[in-house]
Amino acid sequence: MKSLKEQLLQAGLKATPNPKAQNEREVIAKKKITETIIHQEQRNFCEECQQVRPDVELYYHRNPTTEAEWICVKCADRLKIADSFRQTAQSDTSIKRMFRREHGATRNADEFKNHKPQKTKTEVNGNR
């Protein structure tokens, strides 16, 4: 004896597609995402003023009034951080050779070629 399902299929009735199958999406492996997307190619967020700026650079400074290391030109000038403490030339303004400091001399962008930062970010020391 045939089941009801087999009898209906033999009579010419077709099964309807599962409605949940239409809403299912392709599962993307996490590894595939990280290979194709480059994260943080250029930093443009100033840790001092909490704004996105085109002139943010990495500074390893000894200024006790701030703990920020990724600082825009405006904040670096306001905090009187010398350009000799700048470790990178990765911002849009540096690439376009428009990076200028009002506080002291501005280092040339060619000095930063093949230059690795001197220290890594460590625990914050209040006695800088």
**Cα separation values, 87 from 59, 70, 100, Å:** 6, 10, 15
38-91 residue pLDDT tens: 555 788 899 999 999 999 999 999 999 999 999 999 999 999 999 999 998 888
| Total-model pTM | 0.58
Token code pair at residue 23 = 């809403």
Two tokens at 24?
């299912």
